[in-house]
Chain A
């Protein structure tokens, strides 16, 4: 079973017609589950609101007269959840509100446009995967004929289908499998400042020799960037100490940030220069 621990495992190539690989990331099982639960909450809230309005509006009717309305209600719920999923996924952003909140969307596995029959296929299968067994259990329970065996069968059925996406490499539901779709992350990043352009007066006090800059590679540079962007004092202090020990420099704890900024700027310029000359120094072990 594939785990999501290594992010590279969920990265898939997506080559645009212009020939650029966009390296999409598939949404992991937890994200999928939380998106689905958010959607269920929204649908249930809408259903409850409508039901309450109807109950208060028609409060005068007796139980006998209300029976046909119950049937209409069942059809309404069926339409509500299907229309909800299908309309939102057929929309421009190809995502239900739940999916939008967690930052994922549905896309065609082939990379071509996402079509309406794919939307319908993947959402109809959800009806069979989750809602059908549950509603059969509910109907049997309501009629008083639910036995343990069929209830267990229904629960195992929906559990098996819900967990299906954990057992394949591409995190596909049965619906995704049949529709030829998958769910990918669409992160939204702000354009943030370039750290190497940061002007720090204290940073000027730290000149580095080429030997000191050769101590690290690109992997470490990216970790350093992460630490600097997080801007956490104790983390920066620890990192500055480690780097200082490695390159033989003494840094006062108070200067950690300035030192790291200066080292980051110079290390990046150094490695980018190497990159231009055709040497991508992946990490500190590379020559």
Chain B
């Protein structure tokens, strides 16, 4: 009994297929191992040019092997090799430094400009919250305790004397500047920003509530001071870092709202794709928000108690706000080349 004619011929041709291509696979593997470890600069020009050729040769080998060979180890090897090559050749290959530069010059301001509608809504909500908070406390003092938790109020309440309230605004005194920063890190502001963003995916409802509540607290605090004729002074005290901080919180809320509204109303995309698209914009904004909050923390820790002149406080606060707005909305980098 003999095998059908041609069986040996098939075996021979498959063996020679492997023999002929094996050198290319090995060369591609070695080249990939090198470029994955070190920058592509270390390759010679010839090696650089051979990379896509070797990749295509590996892909074609894979197609041939899948169609004709039953050696599963060989196919697994070629699949893994082609995948590595694919990720290398089609992955983003710009260096980290270039990308970080791009982030500050283009991506961050662009992402914030993209959120302009949500940012307006967020700012409007803060203002509405502030007016509501002011009005509520003005009509009935007891609202104050309901809006601002006693632990956060730090002894400031509608019954405090003018002197106590004033001393909070102008007394730097004994505290070390970094303790102010420390207090800042764990105050609710950072948590408000992060939660306003993170809870956005629940159809933006928590974000809206958090931003409203934040505005409410602002309004309530303002009423207490304004009733004692210290409104202008409080404004200065808040604005030195508050313009940066409130802007950051408004942006965080806007980022959360963007995610929530895109999940609720995905338009022509699938819900997943819409969420992914919104998430990338929102995440870019959030990195910036974190940096703004860190900046606000430094301003608060260093500047708030050491600079006690109202004019300087307003100047710094206003200057920061102008700076941020100019950076985000006015200053646009032109993209040169195909960057």
Contacts and interface: CB of A to CB of B under 8 A. Distances in A.
Nearest to A145: B151
Interface in B40-97: 56, 59, 62-63, 67-74, 76-77, 79-84, 86-88, 90-93, 96
Contacts of B1: 207, 209-210
Interface stretch (B138-146, B283-291, B331-339): B283-291
B279 A180 contact: yes
B18 A275 contact: no
B10 A180 contact: no
A118 B281 CA distance: 9
B113 interface: no
A92 B99 contact: no
Contacts of A207: 1
B273 to A, nearest CB: 8
Contact of B280 (A24, A178, A191, A269): A178
B112 interface: no
A214 to B, nearest CB: 11
B330 to A, nearest CB: 23
A241 interface: no
A190 B88 CA distance: 19
A117 B185 contact: no
Interface in B257-274: 259, 272-273
* Interface SS, B side: helix
B182 A67 contact: yes
A199 interface: no
A201 B191 CA distance: 74
Nearest to A161: B198
A22 B83 contact: yes
A6 interface: no
B277 A180 contact: yes
A38 interface: no
A68 B71 CA distance: 64
A239 to B, nearest CB: 16
Given A116-B99, A136-B191, A191-B26, A23 B79 contact: yes
B246 interface: no
A91 B14 CA distance: 39
Given A107-B87, A116-B99, A128-B198, A179 B280 contact: yes
Interface string B187-208: 0000100100110010000000
Contact of B279 (A14, A179, A222, A273): A179
Given A105-B87, A116-B102, A221-B70, 7 more contacts: A111-B90, A121-B282, A121-B283, A189-B81, A196-B11, A270-B4, A272-B11
Interface of B: 1, 3-4, 6-8, 10-11, 14-15, 18, 22, 25-26, 29, 35-36, 56, 59, 62-63, 67-74, 76-77, 79-84, 86-88, 90-93, 96, 99-100, 102-103, 107, 111, 176, 178-179, 181-182, 185-186, 191, 194, 197-198, 201, 259, 272-273, 275-280, 282-284, 286-287
14 contacts: A20-B59, A92-B91, A114-B92, A117-B111, A121-B279, A177-B279, A178-B275, A178-B276, A191-B77, A194-B15, A208-B3, A210-B3, A270-B4, A276-B68
5 closest A-B pairs by CB = A178-B279, A121-B283, A68-B178, A180-B276, A113-B92
Interface of A: 14, 16-18, 20, 22-24, 67-68, 70-72, 74-75, 87, 90-94, 105, 107, 109, 111-118, 120-121, 124-125, 127-128, 132, 136, 139, 174, 177-180, 186-192, 194-197, 207-210, 213, 218, 221-222, 225, 229, 265-266, 268-273, 275-276
